[in-house]
Structure 1
Amino acid sequence: MSEIDFTTATAEQIAAVEPHEFIRIVKEMSDKDVKQVMESPNREAIIDAIFRRMPELFRPDRAGSTTATTHWSITGRPDGGADEWTVRFADGTCTTVPGHDGDATLTLAMTPVDFTKVITKSGNPVMMFMTGKIKAKGDLGLAANIANFFDIPKA
């Protein structure tokens, strides 16, 4: 596959990028490059593609009997707002919906750069929380383990 430029790709092209390819591309990007992409018109398409892929990468064997509703806020939108998503774990499944839906067991807020580090496993979420890069409220044990619920492809 030819290299995709996330700043100029269409939403359809972004959605078609396989998870392992997405991870590889993002891991090769500098923080400055990630920030630039996440300030581009494609920010919404990229975040949408990430959250919509979460159920595909979910590993129920790792989540066990976890039942939780997590609210995610990816800050730094050009209009000053945040992209918000709900990720639920119940009965061995993972579902995602745009917006904050229902009562959260865990609320997470982070910049787009820190978000990409979390979802590519190139950052340590516990250290990111301890240094204030991730804001978490609620079940902090879940926050420390949530990345393990997913089979993140190696780049």
Structure 2
Amino acid sequence: MADIADLAALDFASVTPQEFARIVKGLSKKEVSQLAEDSALRTRVISEVVKRMQEQFKPEKAGSLKALIRWEVSGDPVVVYETEVKDGKVTVTEGRSEREPRVTLTANDYEFLRLVSGNASPVTQFMTRKLKVNGDIGLASALPKFFDIPKA
């Protein structure tokens, strides 16, 4: 069983997406709340997860898609990243740009980690309001096929 100490000690450069997914799967809501209270660890974990989107992107599935996707992880503070899909590549930037995203996905720390680690169904999260989608819902529903999402 994983805990926050496992996550704090994690060398993201050496852990596979599947190993990370297993760690997240073992975390309770309470443990993720503890993670959120440690702002440096929270920032590090979210940053590492979002950066991996570039490595896990499947350009052959995205085709000619051009879109700006904003990810908001609610909490204190709200953490925002944007992923731009263009020319068969994904570019990740931290923060909110002035550009209008095609879709914005918002979740709390726990639901965000479950989503990006393959430990939750995005459809179920959306239907239960744990994942909020603002903008192109069709694009949001297609996102999982554009990324190699790990399974625990």
TM-score, normalising length: structure 1? 0.85
Unaligned ranges ≥5, structure 2: none
Query: Contact 1:52–1:96 at 8 Å: present in 2 too?
Result: yes
Q: What is the deviation of 1:54?
A: 0.7
Alignment of 1:19-38 (within 5 A): 19-38=17-36
**Counterpart selection for 1:93 from 80, 89, 93:** 89
Partner SS state of residue 133, structure 1: coil
Q: What is the deviation of 1:139?
A: 0.5
Alignment of 1:21-100 (within 5 A): 21-40=19-38, 41-77=40-76, 81-100=77-96
**Which stretch has the larger CA shift, 32-41 or 106-115?**
32-41
Structure with the largest fraction of helix: 2
C-alpha distance in structure 1 between counterparts of 2:126 and 2:114, whole Å: 12
- Partner AA of 2:122 in structure 1: P
Q: What is the deviation of 1:56?
A: 0.4
C-alpha distance in structure 1 between counterparts of 2:44 and 2:14, whole Å: 11
Q: Give the number of aligned pairs.
A: 147
Percent sequence identity over aligned pairs: 37
TM-score, normalising length: structure 2? 0.87
1:9 and 2:9 are equivalent in the alignment = yes
Partner SS state of residue 46, structure 1: helix
Query: Contact 1:15–1:45 at 8 Å: present in 2 too?
Result: no
1:105 and 2:102 are equivalent in the alignment = yes
User: Deviation digits for residues 91-141 of structure 1, max 9, x if unmatched?
Assistant: 111110001222200011110111011101221112211221111111001
C-alpha distance in structure 1 between counterparts of 2:151 and 2:134, whole Å: 29
Aligned-residue Cα RMSD (Å) equals 1.9
C-alpha distance in structure 1 between counterparts of 2:13 and 2:79, whole Å: 17
Partner of 1:137: 134
- Partner AA of 2:138 in structure 1: G
- Partner AA of 2:83 in structure 1: V
- Partner AA of 1:98 in structure 2: E
Q: What is the deviation of 1:36?
A: 1.9
Query: Contact 1:72–1:84 at 8 Å: present in 2 too?
Result: yes
Q: What is the deviation of 1:62?
A: 1.8
Query: Contact 1:55–1:96 at 8 Å: present in 2 too?
Result: yes
C-alpha distance in structure 2 between counterparts of 1:42 and 1:17, whole Å: 16
